């Protein structure tokens, strides 16, 4: 099922190969989120002491968040659906001299991962999923974590104005509460945040939700 705010389906491996990821989307030399540095939200979560135990970076992309967390002493498994992204991520981790376990996986199933993690980091993947995918993802992450686990999630907010050149999926507060709550997660903090980033040489403001949720013992 998809709704009016559902994202356009993209071929992320094609995107990372420098090819068009979907109809009417031009190839990109560098993805706009490739800052070659950890994202602001991940730095804030680490500084706030919310990252603990065995860590899963889900939708890790080019690996910069996972590398940052490994540099701070965490045991990190980083998963992505794109083999091309993972090759680059492994190279960056090697250059940084840190040990991160990278693997290809579908975030809506997380086959092979059960009761494995204490913290899940999601920096910009949740909003890439359609409605059914979001629900499957929330359930899969619940299965993959241990009791008392923390989910730290950043996603595009529905406060972003329309942008034809770079359309952004929109996620409402109600969607976050319904999807996560329905899959066994208690939302403890949900903050609207505006982030400034440079895209193609132009500074842009983007509205995000920063979410912290705790895993219930069962759904």
Tens of pLDDT, residue by residue over 155-183, are 999 998 877 666 678 899 999 999 999 99
Q: Number of C-alpha atoms within 13 angstroms, CB side, residue 212?
A: 13
Rg (CA), the chain: 16
Residue 47 domain-assigned (yes or no): yes
Q: Residue 217: what are its φ and ψ, rounded to 5°? A: -60, -35
pLDDT at site 19: 63
Q: How many domains does the chain have?
A: 1
Residue 9 domain-assigned (yes or no): no
CA distance linking residue 207 with residue 196, whole number of Å: 9
pLDDT at site 217: 80
Query: Cα torsion at 74, 80, 86, 92 (round to 10°)?
Result: -40
pLDDT at site 80: 94
pLDDT at site 160: 85
Residue 4 domain-assigned (yes or no): no
CA distance linking residue 4 with residue 184, whole number of Å: 26
Residue 8 domain-assigned (yes or no): no
Query: Cα torsion at 200, 58, 176, 180 (round to 10°)?
Result: 180
pLDDT at site 148: 94
DSSP code at position 108: T
Beta strand pairing call for 101-104 and 117-123: unpaired
Residues of the chain where predicted confidence (pLDDT) is lower than 70: 1-23, 25-29, 32-34, 164-167, 198-202, 218-219
pLDDT at site 59: 94
- Kindly report the CATH number assigned to the domain that includes residue 41: 3.40.50.150
Q: Domain span at residue 138?
A: 36-215
pLDDT at site 218: 66
pLDDT at site 5: 43
Residue 21 domain-assigned (yes or no): no
Residue 211 domain-assigned (yes or no): yes
Residue 14 domain-assigned (yes or no): no
Q: Which residues pair with 192 in a beta bridge?
A: 209
Residue 83 domain-assigned (yes or no): yes
pTM: 0.85
């Amino acid at each position: 099922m998809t709704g009016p705010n559902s994202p356009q389906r993209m071929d992320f491996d094609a995107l990372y190969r420098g090819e068009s990821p979907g109809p009417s989307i031009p190839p990109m030399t560098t993805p706009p989120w490739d800052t070659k540095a950890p994202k602001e939200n991940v730095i804030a979560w680490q500084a706030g002491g919310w990252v603990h135990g065995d860590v899963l970076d889900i939708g890790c992309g080019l690996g910069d968040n996972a590398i940052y967390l490994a540099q701070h002493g965490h045991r990190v498994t980083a998963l992505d659906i794109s083999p091309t992204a993972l090759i680059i991520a492994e190279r960056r981790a090697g250059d940084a001299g840190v040990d991160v376990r990278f693997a290809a996986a579908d975030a809506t199933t997380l086959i092979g991962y059960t009761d494995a993690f204490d913290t899940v980091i999601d920096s910009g993947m949740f909003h890439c999923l359609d409605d059914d995918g979001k629900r499957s993802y929330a359930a899969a992450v619940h299965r993959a974590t241990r009791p008392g686990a923390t989910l730290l999630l950043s996603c595009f907010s529905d406060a972003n104005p329309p942008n034809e050149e770079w359309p952004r999926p929109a996620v409402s507060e109600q969607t976050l509460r319904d999807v996560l709550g329905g899959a066994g997660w208690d939302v403890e903090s949900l903050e609207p945040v505006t982030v400034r980033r440079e895209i193609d040489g132009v500074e842009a403001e983007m509205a995000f939700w920063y979410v912290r949720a705790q895993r219930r013992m069962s759904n």
